[in-house]
Structure 1
Amino acid sequence: MSHAPQYETSYGGGTTYEPEPEPGPAQEFFPRQATGGVPDGGRAEARRAARRKRAKPKPWPKASSERPESLRRLLPQALVVAFLAGGTSAFVANDKAVRLSVDGESRTLHTFADDVGELLEDEGVDFGTHDIVAPTASTALASGDEIAVRYGRPVKLTLDGQRREVWTTARTVDGALRQLGVRAEGAYLSASRSKRIERDGLDLDVRTERTVTIMADGRERTIRTNAATVREAVEESGITLNGQDTTSVAPGSFPRDGQTVTVMRISGRKEVREEPIPFDVRRTDDPSLFAGTEVVERQGHQGTRRVTYALRTVNGVKQKPRRVRSEVVREPQTQIVKVGTKQLPNSVAGADGLNWGSLAHCESGGRPNAVDASGTYGGLYQFDTRTWQGLGGTGRPQDAPAEEQTFRAKKLYVQRGASPWPHCGGRL
């Protein structure tokens, strides 16, 4: 007696047999829900399609007329049971129950994702470089896993006067301070510690407590302060700044930890002084004057400037006067000087062979700018001004070059001989 096949079904007038389905990927039967159910497309659909593949039915040998009728009735039921059992096993094997926390909001969900990144993508959770995902996006998922996403928040932090932008995943000011390692005990905070930091960030000013030493009036005071300025720290120490009083560092500057600040008691007054303004000298060439001769055409005059000075005493010590204002009372007048450019003659006929050096030495000691005690006679040869100008000289003889003085002395000798020099003329 031949062995009957396991499953059979009737087709028309005869009985045929189907082979068992070939092994394949686990099949998914249920649509994915919004909270992590079975997906209705994508990879899940591909897996369902793979499981639907069937081998082409092949006819079995004809059944014996003696095959029990009960076996034919059991065949459809056995196929359904086997199909359901295989699909349910695949569904259970791929479904994972995980706990997802996004910025502190937690929920449990079921997923068919293979790794953390796939789960977050399926759930529509975006993350960037400043966000934290734990475990990492490439980590494979298993049932019972816990995944946390914490979003980064920008904080414009001014810490002890220094401004910078930082990122934190903390959701409150207190958490951000701990995460950033900022010592907040005794510190001034521009926002309460419990304030929530939204995704768009927060401006936060923090002034930590510092030790500052104040020196004033011969005493030293050391305080702990979170003051924003040196002036505030001085006032907290019980010291008052009056009038022109100031500090050794700018009163509006930020007090640093360990800094020593000296209070300077200042008294002072203003003093007005008149100061001279020197005049300029302008020289112009004059071809009518012998070279080396300079004649003042217009006398220069000094101007006057009125200057206001601040006189200060700091902690009892007088300071250098400080000029605070200046105004011109009288403008200076420029002095104009003519400068000769005319070539001096080499000789005067009838006087060149005389000993003019000896005469000059006798009259003036050989000094071109010599002037007698009365102020009447001047120069090498002690001309009076009237005689000098009568010989063609300009100005005073003692202001002319030595060569010009000798030249005019020779002219005078030609006119009057040695008589103009009654005591020294014999030396010629």
Structure 2
Amino acid sequence: MYADTYRPGYERPLPRQSGSAPTLPAMPPLPTVPVMPPLPTVPAMPGGAVGEEGVDGRAARRRKGRPGERSESALRRLLPQALVVAFLAGGTTAFVAEDKAIELSVDGHQRTLHTFAGDVGELLAEQGVPMGEHDMVAPAPGAALASGDEVAVRYGRPVRLTLDGSRREVWTTAHTVEGALDELGVRAQGAYLSASRSRSIGRAGLALDVRTERAVTIMADGRARTLRTNAANVGEAVREAGITLRGQDTTSVPLGSFPRDGQTVTVLRVTGARRVYEEQIPFAVERTADPTLFRGTEVVDRPGRPGLRRTTYLQRTVNGVRQKPRRERTEVVRRPREQLVRFGTKPRPDSVHGADHLNWQALAACESGGRPHAVDPSGTYGGLYQFDARTWHSLGGSGRPQDASAREQTYRAKKLYVRQGAAPWPHCGPRLHS
């Protein structure tokens, strides 16, 4: 299938490293040639004789020689050379046998190479192919290599996946979005994808939003509508169903929530109005003792003023059914003002000079029937002696005369008599002298 790019490993240049010269792989050692044993020497004749023929005869015979002797001498000379050639041929054969032709595919880039590596891990280290935790290699790094094997490396890529509203980070060795979805087992038919299926995934990965198709039922105005949708939220699914929300209309689940497969969403038609109620906030009273005032006497230095609280309620009708009013907010429009009161602690005298001898009991019986809390029909006069409020306050009284004790009322009546005589009681005044 692929062109043979054979080049022996010991001739192929390695990748050049920055700042250094290229290095060549070490040559395997050549086989050692055994040393030939020394040839046996011919022993000398005893006594140093050289034979009957003499020196000249032997030399002539040596020069001429016999055919068998010449063959033996030539064999002795060729034997060491043949042994050397045989050993060299055997070493070269073993050297060539370790070289393997491998098909290496790295992230889809395929090439044919020759290596002396024994397993896949050595091959990848030799080729400078790094491996990470999420990368895939086949066969496994520890698998042995043989000539003709195929080795595939696929790098892992991070995908920040948001699947139907749930976010997580996953790893894939696929090169495209479509391949990643298949590898992750995500049903992409009818789904919304934030990136096209054919988009490539780089080593840095990508962010991918996937919304699968779901069946959602929308209940509105007494009618159910079921649709298949990949909407991002409930509000979008309601619009896809052709339903319009107006005014205070809402749904049974939040409009921004993610619609789940098989979910039923009810549209709530809401009408209503806001009602505002106001109520007074009572004021507090601060009372301070005053030794210059008689006991039972009170003076209001600063009158109190009630505050005002305003509360807003929402009265709603949902799908024709009136709901319980719901309080929306409460605000204080005016804060209450505290009332300051001084009360007397000075002992009150029991008598008033010039009025103690009169018949005050007869006057009280005539004016009020002797009842300290009596009030006339007009509400103007009150107490035993039917004081009006202005006269009562001018005599040092506080509050209403009918609320004071009988003793205090009699004391104030004596003071009035000393000031004006019996004139304040034109009808019953004569009873004082009875």
Which TM-score applies when normalising by structure 1?
0.70
In the alignment, structure 1 residue 154 sits paired with structure 2 residue 158: yes
Aligned in 2, Cα 1:35/1:380: closer, same or farther, shift over 3 Å? farther
Amino acid of the residue matched to residue 101 of structure 2? A
Deviations 1:66-117 (A, max 9, x none): 6733124413531332222221232144223333221223333321112221
**Distance in 2 of aligned mates of 1:75 and 1:170:** 64
1:278 maps to a residue whose letter is I
Q: Which has the larger radius of gyration?
A: 2
> Within 5 A, what are the aligned runs for 1:39-118?
44-45=26-27, 47-48=28-29, 51=30, 60-63=38-41, 68-118=72-122
Counterpart CA distance in 2 for 1:188 and 1:122 is: 44
CA–CA distance in 1 between the matches of 2:371 and 2:118?
117
Residues 1:258 and 2:262 are matched in the alignment: yes
Q: Deviations over 1:17-38 (max 9, x none)?
A: xxxxxxxxxxxx96152699xx
Whole-Å separation in 1 of the counterparts to 2:339 and 2:120: 97
1:275 counterpart (270, 275, 278): 278
Report Cα offsets for 1:168-226 as digits up to 9, x if no partner: 11112122112212122221222232332222212211111112111111112222211
Q: Does the 8 Å contact 1:347/1:407 carry over to 2?
A: no
Aligned twin of 1:357 = none
- Equivalent-residue separation in structure 2 for 1:366 and 1:69 (angstroms): 177
Preserved contact between residue 305 and residue 339 of structure 2 (Cα < 8 Å): no
The answer to whether structure 1 residue 345 and structure 2 residue 347 are counterparts is yes
1:147, distance to aligned residue in structure 2 (A) = 2.1
Q: CA deviation at 1:234?
A: 1.6
1:214-233 alignment to 2 at 5 Å? 214-233=218-237
Give the alignment partner of residue 237 of structure 1, picking from 238, 241, 249: 241
Q: Which residue of 2 aligns with 1:356?
A: none
User: Which 10-residue stretch deviates more, 378-387 or 145-154?
Assistant: 378-387
How many angstroms apart in 1 are the aligned matches of 2:239 and 2:369?
79
Q: Does 1:181 align with 2:182?
A: no
**8 Å contact kept, 2:289–2:342:** yes
Q: CA deviation at 1:59?
A: 6.5
- The 1:70/1:63 distance shift into structure 2, 3 A limit, reads farther
> Residue 239 of structure 1: SS of its match in structure 2?
coil
Gaps of 5+ in 2: 1-7, 16-21, 43-61, 63-68, 353-363
Superposition deviation, residue 260 in structure 1: 1.3
- C-alpha distance in 2, partners of 1:251/1:366? 77
Q: 334, 339, 351: which is aligned to 2:337?
A: 334
Report SS of the residue matched to 1:97.
strand
Contact preservation (8 Å) 2:9, 2:114: no
Secondary structure at the residue paired with 2:347?
coil
Q: Partner of 2:183: helix, strand, or coil?
A: helix
Match of 1:354 in 2: none
Shift of 1:379: 5.5
Q: Is the 8 A contact 2:31 2:88 kept in 1?
A: no
| Identical residues among aligned pairs (%) | 60
Give the residue type in structure 2 aligned to 1:343.
Answer: T
Return the letter of the residue paired with 2:103. R
Q: Which amino acid aligns with 2:10?
A: P
Please give the alpha-carbon distance, in whole angstroms, between the structure 2 residues aligned to 1:122 and 1:232: 56
Farther-moved stretch of structure 1 (91-100 vs 387-396) = 387-396
In the TM superposition, residue 143 of structure 1 has moved relative to its aligned partner by 3.5
Distance 1:269 1:412 in 2: 60
Shift of residue 242, structure 1, vs aligned partner: 3.5
Note the residue ranges of structure 1 that are not aligned, 5 or more in a row: 1-28, 351-359
**TM-score, length of structure 2 as denominator length:** 0.69
Flag the 1:274–1:241 CA change in 2: closer, same or farther, 3 A. Answer: closer
Q: Look up the equivalent residue of 1:280 and give its one-letter code.
A: F
**CA separation in 1, counterparts of 2:370 and 2:170?**
90
How large is the Cα RMSD of the aligned pairs? 4.7
Aligned runs of 1:335-374 on 2, under 5 Å? 336-340=339-343, 342-343=344-345, 345=347, 348=350, 371=375, 373-374=377-378
1:33 and 2:6 matched: no
**Partners of 2:136 and 2:153 within 8 A in 1:** yes
Query: Please, which moves more after superposition, 218-227 or 234-243?
Result: 234-243
Q: Which amino acid in the other structure matches residue 60 of structure 1?
A: P
**Match for residue 355 of structure 2?**
none
Deviation by residue 1:132-171 (Cα, 9 ceiling, x = unmatched)? 1223323333334332211011112111122222111111
1:366, 1:260 → 2: CA distance?
A: 81
Q: Aligned pair in 2 of structure 1 residues 240, 332: CA closer, same or farther (>3 Å)? A: closer
Task: Answer yes or no: is the 8 Å Cα contact 2:397–2:412 preserved in 1.
Answer: no
Which is further off, 90-99 or 279-288? 279-288
| AA at the equivalent of 1:261 | V
1:168 pairs with 2:160 = no
The answer to whether the Cα contact below 8 Å between 2:281 and 2:309 also exists between their aligned partners in 1 is: no
The one-letter code of the counterpart of 2:82 is A
Seen in structure 2, the aligned counterparts of structure 1 residues 295 and 410 have a Cα distance that, compared at 3 Å, is: closer
| 1:335 shift after superposition | 5.2
Give distance in 2, aligned partners of 1:157 and 1:125: 28
Provide the rounded CA distance (Å) in 1 between the counterparts of 2:184 and 2:393. Answer: 97
